[in-house]
Every structure is written in structure tokens, then in C-alpha cells.
Structure 1
Amino acid sequence: MPMLELQGLTRRFGAVTAVDAVTLSVPAGQMVGVIGRSGAGKSTMLRMINRLTDPSAGRILFHGRDVGALQGAALRRWRTDCAMIFQQFNLVPRLDVLTNVLVGRLNHVAPWRSLAGLWPEADRAIALSALEQFDIGRLAAQRADSLSGGQQQRVAIARALVQEPSIILADEPVASLDPRNARLVMDALADINRRYGITILVNIHSLDLARAYCERLVGLAQGRLVFDGPPEALTDEAARQLYGLEAAEAVGRDAPRVPVHA
């Protein structure tokens, strides 16, 4: 049984169909790049999987369980198991880095402890270890808003990791970063995937980065699934058809090619 299944997943906003009957199966441990031009439905699809947006039609199954039927505490547990990373980091600017990462432990500790700031030492150690894994442990005491964009995104990834998720959804995590920081963030996601076997779906506009880091590419155009295969199966011509007028921006040769199964 696939870990994650989308069955005819659809989302309409009025007369506009943002995601159009997408059917997709993702096995455990895969790193999948979701590609396509702006407005293709990539973000809406990930938000539906996390249940930040409800589907208009279709089903989302996780190990056979209907995610669309979850409510209350069960939905909160799902969002812990299915961590989300956003383009704009979604950190609390005035809090220090360590506390921002500890937010990922909220469903693992008693509410009174987090409200009082009395995090168990074990959880603090988990959070610090996650920061050190991404070479930012030295920033633990700094305010989040004092960090660069690339550092903030690695903090967000550390926060997702300490949730102990089965799957991570990364929605355009490098869109606002320069090439060097984009590679550092993709390195961090690839490391999580290899080291812990966590399934990752990453929306990414840069086809170079998608080809370099992801073992499988899923292409959306006007909300429909139009490509599903390994990076080498996506020719430049097919990529240009997928990206349309944005092809020159998305298709290049600047990203380093890294081993996805290292």
C-alpha cells in the first residue's frame, strides 16, 4: 500500500479549478519535486494534503486512512505527522531561535509547560540537536528576526523535523532565497530525507534544483497532473511545454547535481 494517495483530488475557487482531479501515489521515503509554472496548483495541492485547504472533491489517503475526514484532535495529530514548511518561514520574529524550534514539540508536551515556557530538558536537547544538524546551533539564543532568510528557513526545517513527522510538505521553500542559500536549504531537506527516511514533497519553481535534488518529479499545468517520472525522463522540450512562458526562468543549468540516494 502506498504511504500517500491522492484520488481525483480537486479544488475549485468559484469558477476557477486550481487543482483538477489529481491522482497520485507516493511511497514512503521518497523525495518528490512538484514542478510547474506559477499558478499551476502546486501550493493548493500541498495545502489540501495538510488540510489547510479542504478539497472540493476527491480523497487523500495516508496508509489507507481518509485524511479528509479527520477533525479536532485527530486533525491536529495529522498536522504533526505531516509537517509543513512555508516560503515565508512562519517563525515568531520576537522569539529566540530555540523557542521557535520548540514550537514543533507542542503536541509532545503538556500544554501548561509550553505556555509557561517550561520546556522539558529532553525537548530542549532535541531542538538544539536539530539546529546543530543544520549548522545553526550557535544561533539558538538569537531572535528569529535577526537571521538571514536562509538561516530562518533552516530554523523552520528544524522545527518541522522535531515534530517527528512521517512526511514533510515544503511549499516553495527557496523561492525568496539567493542561489547559495537555496542550495543550503535543499541540502537540509535532502539530508532529512536520506538520514531519517522522511517522505518529502517539495514545491519548487527552479527545474535545475528539482532535477538535482529530487528522485521523482511531478508536473502540474493548469491544475492537472501532466508529468510523473524521474528527472532524466523530463526533457528540455517537455519542460518548456510544462512551464510555458516561464521556461527561460525555470530551465537553466546553474544548480549542482547531487546524488539523491547518497
Structure 2
Amino acid sequence: MFRLINVTHRFGGHAAVNAVSIDIPQGQMVGIIGRSGAGKSTLLRMINRLVDPSEGSIRFGDIEVSSLRGAALRNWQRDCAMIFQQFNLVPRLDVLTNVLLGRLNHRSTALSLLNMFSREERIMAIAALERLGIEQTALQMAGTLSGGQQQRVAIARALMQQPKMILADEPIASLDPLNAKVVMDALRDINEREGITVVTNLHTLDTARNYCERIIGMSAGRVVFDGPPRELDAAAVRAIYGAGADGSEIDETVTSTSIRGAVSAQLQDNNRESVSAAPLVLAGV
């Protein structure tokens, strides 16, 4: 069980996250939604200890995560892998080396400095790339890949950490709908096959509904909704996103990437242009 107990983080006098308490059983796929500035990214960064809580406690089983320091903190950041919106790859290194960097917290500093990865680690890295359908890019410079490919490399790097939890901070915010679907499919597959807990921040209600078994809605640093997708009704959406300028209900299309509809439309356009062109478009995802 992973637990946040009355966790708060302040920037000066402003509480970006305010007295949040959440229990997450092992193996759940959780989507956190809310407006920009609701506290979603700060919450994930506290879980990974990229920022420290101002108050409250973060626990994973018997481990008091919020008090870890030194090697124990590095071990937690190995076990709690982080995937970022900006990918955080090294553009001038090849894809395979970027993926292998996920092993750094499993190795001695000397071996890391010498870039001496074992044959077994290289096999693991290729297997991770194959699982994500991008093994053919292994020797390309990471900076030459598309955004969707780079995000899949970042997921492969996270898998190399052999984590107990994966945190994904807006992993599809900069991707087109087709690439967004590929990335979300990959995260759901990891969650279902490995039983790894996945907690992901999302701007899009349709994505949260389609992929997450549990949705947490945040507004002004507080949790205002916590439940399964079927309970995310109009009242819950209003609590999370507020009302329109005229007081009307929020139009969900403004929070939606329309993954399914956009994929269908894109494939139809490809088919109209050329039957043979569609496989080329999909292969470049």
C-alpha cells in the first residue's frame, strides 16, 4: 500500500498541494486530472521526492518515504520511476544507451562512469525496446526520433529500473492523438502484465476514463474527487474544472484529445489518400 497522509507543499505562502490524503493499493492504474495549476505535477514530484513535502507523511509499506536521505532516497527513486512530459532523454546519445541509463541506480558509480553495461543489461534494454515496438531505433540518436518514439524510449528506460511504481507527469500532453494512444496503451500494458502501480497526470477526461480504473480530481491543491470513472459525473467535473464563464457546465471537449475519434479520422484520411500509405504512417508513430 502506498499512502499520502495530509501531505502539503508550499511555495512561499501558497499551498500548491494542500492536506492531501490518498491510499493507493499495489497494482492500480490511477489518473490524476485537473486544471493547470491544480497541484498535479507537484503531487507527483513529492511522491518521487524531487520536491519535499512541507507537511505530512508519504509511506510505501513500512518505508517512510518523506524522511529518506542519501542512498535510501536514491533507492526509492529507482523503485518509483518517473516519466516526464519533456521525455528527459540525452539527445546526442543513441536510443540504446538512453534506455541503459535506467540501470544507473542498480550499479556502482565506477561502472556508471565507465559506461560498462553488461551483456544481460543490453539484452534487457533491447527487450524493452521490442516490447514498445521501437527496437529498430536502438542505434539512432535519441534527438532524431519523433515525440511519440521519444516517449516510448523514456518508458523503456523506466522499465530498466525494474520499478514498483511508475509516475507519469503529463506523458501525452505534447503528443498527437495517435501517438498519445500508443503511449497510453503501453502504460496500461505494463500495469496489467507486471502489476506495477501506475499514477499518471492527465489533462484529458476521455483518456482518464478510457485507461484508468481510478480517477483523482484536484482543484486548488486539494482532492475534490476520488473514485472510478463511472462516478465522474457532471457534478464531479464541475468540482474539478469549475463552470464556464456564463455559469454553464464545462464542455468536456475542451479537456479532450478525442483519441479514438482522431485515430479513426486519421486512418480514414490515410485510406482515402492511398491504401498503401497507411502502413507507412503507422510505422512512423
> What letter matches 1:81 in structure 2?
D
1:115 aligns with: 113
1:61 to 55, 59, 62: 59
Cα RMSD, aligned residues only: 1.5
1:150 to 148, 155, 170: 148
Distance across 2 between alignment mates of 1:75 and 1:49:
11
Q: How many residues are matched?
A: 255
In structure 2, the CA distance between the partners of 1:252 and 1:99, relative to structure 1 (3 Å rule), is closer
What SS class does the counterpart of residue 191 from structure 2 fall into?
A: helix
1:88 aligns with: 86
1:35 aligns with: 33
Does the 8 A contact of 1:97 with 1:142 survive in 2?
yes
> What is the deviation of 1:117?
2.2
**Are 1:25 and 2:23 matched, yes or no?**
yes
Does the 8 A contact of 2:213 with 2:229 survive in 1?
yes
Distance across 2 between alignment mates of 1:191 and 1:141:
25
Q: Which runs of 5+ in 1 are unaligned?
A: 258-262
> What letter matches 2:213 in structure 1?
E
Task: Return the index of the structure with the highest Cα Rg.
Answer: 2
In structure 2, the CA distance between the partners of 1:253 and 1:133, relative to structure 1 (3 Å rule), is closer
In structure 2, the CA distance between the partners of 1:250 and 1:61, relative to structure 1 (3 Å rule), is farther
What SS class does the counterpart of residue 93 from structure 1 fall into?
A: coil
**Are 1:194 and 2:192 matched, yes or no?**
yes
Does the 8 A contact of 1:37 with 1:244 survive in 2?
no
1:167-246 matches, within 5 Å, as 167-244=165-242
1:260 aligns with: none
Distance across 2 between alignment mates of 1:253 and 1:79:
31
> What is the deviation of 1:252?
4.5
> What letter matches 2:204 in structure 1?
S
Does the 8 A contact of 2:128 with 2:156 survive in 1?
yes
1:106 aligns with: 104
CA distances 1:49-77 after superposition (whole Å, capped 9, x unpaired): 10000001000000032101100000000
2:259 aligns with: 255
> What is the deviation of 1:244?
2.6
> What is the deviation of 1:239?
1.2
Does the 8 A contact of 2:203 with 2:255 survive in 1?
no
Distance across 1 between alignment mates of 2:108 and 2:57:
33
What SS class does the counterpart of residue 151 from structure 1 fall into?
A: helix
> What letter matches 1:52 in structure 2?
L
**Are 1:7 and 2:11 matched, yes or no?**
no
Does the 8 A contact of 2:177 with 2:257 survive in 1?
no
> What letter matches 2:166 in structure 1?
I
Distance across 1 between alignment mates of 2:220 and 2:39:
7
Distance across 2 between alignment mates of 1:125 and 1:253:
36
Does the 8 A contact of 1:97 with 1:140 survive in 2?
yes
Does the 8 A contact of 2:188 with 2:211 survive in 1?
yes
2:125 aligns with: 127
Distance across 2 between alignment mates of 1:174 and 1:97:
20
Of stretches 21-30 and 248-257 in structure 1, the one that deviates more from structure 2 is: 248-257
1:47 aligns with: 45
Of stretches 106-115 and 78-87 in structure 1, the one that deviates more from structure 2 is: 106-115
What SS class does the counterpart of residue 83 from structure 1 fall into?
A: strand
Q: Which runs of 5+ in 2 are unaligned?
A: 245-249, 262-285
> What is the deviation of 1:250?
4.4
Distance across 2 between alignment mates of 1:183 and 1:245:
28
> What is the deviation of 1:15?
1.4
Length-normalised TM-score, structure 2: 0.86
> What letter matches 2:68 in structure 1?
L
Distance across 1 between alignment mates of 2:26 and 2:223:
20
Distance across 1 between alignment mates of 2:113 and 2:124:
19
